A = this chain, B = another copy of it.
Amino acid sequence: MSSTDLDLENIPSIDLQTFTHASVSKQGDKYWFFEKSEESFPGQTFGLEISRILYHTESPFQDILIFESTTFGNVLVLNGIVQCTEKDEFAYQELITHLPIMSHPSPKKVLVIGGGDCGVIRELVKHVEDNTVESITMVEIDDMVIKLSTKFLPNMAKYHNHPKVNLRIEDGFKFLKETTEKFDVIITDSSDPEGPAEEFFQVNYFKLLLNALAKKGIVIMQSSENIWLNIDYLKDLLVKARIVFKNVAYSQCYMPSYTSGQLGLVIATNDEEKTLQTPLRRFSEEKESQIFQYYSSEIHSASFVLPKWAKNKLDL
């Protein structure tokens, strides 16, 4: 269905007992969501017990499933892959946002590609309130995700109408090809390469990012992988990034609801002087505790430290 048909006030309830979906199965008298992918992570799965199915649709872009879990709060699933759970979403949202923002001397103009759950915007607004970030442009292809997030992930999707946010419903790839604007920070918060986000994991995408980046700007993107899952793919992704950017680093976020309990982020800039592993700006411990749950200047640096074998394999 399309988003214009979506009536958030009158969402019909779904009977779990008759609901069918490739990711949902019954075990004993309980219903479970299982994240499985023969291609991306064969032989392993993460499961969450379902208490209620909140919504399911095929949007023009992807399969969208939202359920209430028994212990992780509400869960957003795109094409069978967990995007966020209310329990641990702050980990990823904070790391992908504050790594580049706190590494940049003056991140005034920020672009978000994807990010339909609006968690990254929520984090960026903290820096608007701090008089650092002046404008946020978010380009999301699927406004169903935004609308459904306002309903079912209200702690995430609350600032898409913020006066400093310019929300555009269109293809991020196309936007980057056409824009003449230059941004200080570009955050690609996409879904995984299977589906509409496939183009985001190619050399050409890094070139488009560079083209839209102000001098000394910083880009960050989720890698869709981690060191345990497919380190060869990661190595290849870093090689692609290094074709375009002179300074490329790799950070990991550790949270239970992502495959293997961790997800990698690729961060890059053409500023060769910059040490991305060390934040350029720091808040006091007290302020960190007020505005962050996951991020801190210590976490910033530690997130780049990889196990010995992975560090060697990725030439980091």
Most buried by B among A252, A259, A296: A296
Q: Is A27 an interface residue (CB 8 A)?
A: yes
Question: Which B residues are CB-close (under 8 A) to A308?
Answer: 288-289, 292-296, 299
Give the total of A residues in contact with B, Cβ under 8 Å.
48
A residues 113-170 near B (Cβ < 8 Å) are none
Q: Is A173 an interface residue (CB 8 A)?
A: no
Instruction: Give A302 to B302 CA distance when docked, in angstroms.
Output: 5
Copy tally for this chain in the complex stands at: 2
Interface residues of A (CB under 8 A from B): 25, 27, 32, 34, 42-49, 69-72, 87-88, 91, 228-229, 252, 254-256, 258-262, 288-289, 292-296, 298-299, 301-302, 305-309, 311-312
Q: Do residues B307 and A228 form an inter-chain contact, with CB atoms below 8 A?
A: no
Closest 10 CB pairs of A and B: A261-B261, A43-B71, A256-B260, A302-B305, A43-B70, A45-B47, A302-B302, A43-B49, A293-B309, A294-B307
Q: Do residues B256 and A44 form an inter-chain contact, with CB atoms below 8 A?
A: yes
Known: A44-B46, A252-B254. 6 other contacts (CB 8 A): A27-B34, A42-B71, A43-B71, A45-B46, A46-B47, A254-B261
Question: Which B residues are CB-close (under 8 A) to A88?
Answer: 228
